[in-house]
Structure 1
Amino acid sequence: MDDIKQKIKTGQLIPFLGMGVFENTKTKDGSTLPYDSDSMILALNNGRAMSDRLMYEYSRAAMSLEQRKGREFIIQMTNHIYSSKEYEIPDIYKWLKELKPKYIIDTNMDDSLQKIYNDVEHFLITGVSRITADWDRYLIYLFDVKEQKYTRIEKENLNLDLPILFKPMGSTKPEMNFIISDADFVDWLTEAMGGYAMPNILKEYRKGKDYLFLGVDFSRDTFRMVTNEITIDLNAGLSLFDKEELTKKEDKFIKTHNLEVLNMSINNFINSNE
């Protein structure tokens, strides 16, 4: 695919960010931020590994911690990971700041994405789970540049006139809502399959679009399902992988979704698309 930056600007190529964009990202005190499932588990469990069964995927580990210590613990611990220490946002966000995609998907739960749009009015959609008031598994906000704050709005007021930031797994800001444990993902995916995980306007907009996957782990069942639901009706796309060999599940997913693999690091990708 030629001219990646131009296709992002026109909205044909939609960036889709995963936890891998945080690899080598350190806080001001030198500690590292989670960049894959294993490091997320260690962060949630105060640096301690868990059983092999729980170490398979961080949602399992989070569910175990939630069952033992309560829902509030896992919410506060997730917030603590991203909010207790200062860190510089990963370079890919800085690269995207100049492009300001009209629609961007970020499965990370911190507020790096919001920071690169804080100079323009925009909509923010964050995922939410295990609620009884509504079928919808998202909240919509409008950002006021002058006031530098978000106001929650109804879905009828969402439109394509402003950039749309979609954080399906939730975020630390403007409200702490996280899709983190098995119970969260089961609830979110169940409603996603029923059509309630994203507004109708985005379900129409996404038809025939291409995606640029950056730091997304397709080796884990959960995130393949999440990605599949969000990108229904896609045309094709690109996926960055900085490793020599893909697993069978990764390879099958990539072929099924008509993706082209770019075997390079995110930094090399940025440097080659300056």
Structure 2
Amino acid sequence: MNTILTSGHLVVIRDSFAEKRLGLLKEGLAADEVIPYLGPGLLRLSSAEPPVPHTPEAVAAALNTRAPAPSKIRTNMWSVAQFIEQRRHRRTLQAWMAEIFAAPVPPSVLHSWLATLPLSLIVDSWYDGAMRAALAQAARTDVVEIQGVTRANEIGNIWTKTYDLSGRELEPGSAAKTVLYKPHGSIRPAANFLIADSDYVEVLTEIDIQTPIPDVVKERRINRGLFFVGCRFDDQMLRTYARQIMKRSNGPHFAVIDAVLLTKNERRFLAASAITVIDMPAGEAAALLGGAGTAADGGQD
């Protein structure tokens, strides 16, 4: 049996049904009917050992090598970052995050393929610059990147900053064929990071009424569904952002995840959000979507 409806109304498809659905999603992406929502699991597609951390726990570990946090929060990226900000100052946290994510991440076959498509919107939920690099390598001149920024460094009602692929900051609201939306910030071009608990206090207060989400993202999601690749939802922060970015989009929504790895909270979230799970390793899915080559790692999301 290829399709499973769990008791929590979570739909999981696998085997031939999963491959068929990926084929339809590939067509939908090429026709700009689907929004790719990329997660840190994609970093393992180009290298079994990515040059930068590819999980929140790995970021927490990297920060702990610089300033050991109390054991009860040591594996929580957001809490460790908050500990450092309080003890060492925001500038220190910013500098350490820039060090941790300094190494360039080569685009995977999936990044490179997505960069060739006339997509209206790409959501990239991690701090690396692989998707930006793929768009630049494709010589795209019709792209703007919108990044979430911490309010700790800003005066006024600023939630995001906008850049072109050369790194030049643009006026808010600048339009382009493709918008690359990095809700948590990015190492490039300006080392913007939403990382500490304090960064999210005002964001989470306002996100239910959608204030921190750029208008262009709200507009371009309406008639499209989201396709999550390389993402996990095993933390409340990750679930909150995905839920709010999906808000008022028509769907349908899909996520490539190895179903055996799902936690109870992930299952509840996916079911409640009507996200169909394509039960397949991210590397296998990326190779099928990209249409050429194989992933360096066919493992977990």
Bucket of the pairwise TM-score, normalised by the shorter protein: 0.7 to 0.9
1:71 maps onto 2:93 in alignment: no
Q: Is the 8 A contact 2:227 2:254 kept in 1?
A: yes
Decide which moves more: 89-98 or 14-23.
Answer: 89-98
Write the distance in 1 (CA, Å) between the matches of 2:167 and 2:52. 26
1:18 maps onto 2:39 in alignment: yes
Q: Is the 8 A contact 1:241 1:261 kept in 2?
A: yes
Write the distance in 2 (CA, Å) between the matches of 1:47 and 1:90. 30
Q: Is the 8 A contact 1:241 1:265 kept in 2?
A: yes
Q: 2:117 aligns with which of 95, 99, 110?
A: 99
Give the secondary structure class of the aligned counterpart of 1:251. helix
User: 1:26: Cα distance to partner?
Assistant: 5.2
User: 1:190: Cα distance to partner?
Assistant: 2.2
Please tell me the residue identity of whatever aligns with 2:155: A
Unpaired stretches in structure 2, ≥5 consecutive residues: 1-20, 292-301
Q: Is the 8 A contact 2:69 2:83 kept in 1?
A: no
User: 1:200: Cα distance to partner?
Assistant: 1.9
Give the secondary structure class of the aligned counterpart of 1:254. helix
Unpaired stretches in structure 1, ≥5 consecutive residues: none
Q: Is the 8 A contact 1:236 1:257 kept in 2?
A: no
Identity across aligned pairs (percent)?
22
Q: Is the 8 A contact 1:243 1:263 kept in 2?
A: yes
Aligned to 1:258: 274
Write the distance in 1 (CA, Å) between the matches of 2:74 and 2:242. 21
- Cα deviation 1:64-110 (Å, max 9, x = unaligned): 12212111111111111121x34433443223233352210001112
1:242 maps onto 2:258 in alignment: yes
User: 1:181: Cα distance to partner?
Assistant: 0.8
Write the distance in 1 (CA, Å) between the matches of 2:75 and 2:239. 15
Write the distance in 2 (CA, Å) between the matches of 1:129 and 1:74. 12
Aligned to 1:139: 161
User: 1:25: Cα distance to partner?
Assistant: 5.6
Give the TM-score normalised by structure 2: 0.79
User: 1:201: Cα distance to partner?
Assistant: 2.9
Write the distance in 2 (CA, Å) between the matches of 1:183 and 1:259. 30
Write the distance in 1 (CA, Å) between the matches of 2:104 and 2:217. 33
Give the secondary structure class of the aligned counterpart of 2:232. coil
User: 1:184: Cα distance to partner?
Assistant: 0.9
Aligned to 1:178: 193
User: 1:219: Cα distance to partner?
Assistant: 0.9
Write the distance in 2 (CA, Å) between the matches of 1:151 and 1:50. 35
Aligned to 1:39: 58
- Cα deviation 1:29-55 (Å, max 9, x = unaligned): x77421112211112222887545314
1:120 maps onto 2:114 in alignment: no
Q: 1:61 aligns with which of 72, 80, 91?
A: 80
User: 1:23: Cα distance to partner?
Assistant: 3.1
Write the distance in 1 (CA, Å) between the matches of 2:252 and 2:193. 29
Map 1:196-211 to 2 at 5 A.
Answer: 196-211=211-226
- Cα deviation 1:95-145 (Å, max 9, x = unaligned): 3233352210001112212111111121110101225533241112244xx
Please tell me the residue identity of whatever aligns with 1:113: M
Please tell me the residue identity of whatever aligns with 1:138: T
Q: Classify 1:263/1:52 alpha carbon distance in 2 versus 1 (closer, same or farther; 3 Å).
A: farther
Aligned to 1:272: 288
Write the distance in 1 (CA, Å) between the matches of 2:288 and 2:263. 26
Aligned to 2:12: none
> How much is the aligned-residue C-alpha RMSD, in angstroms?
2.4
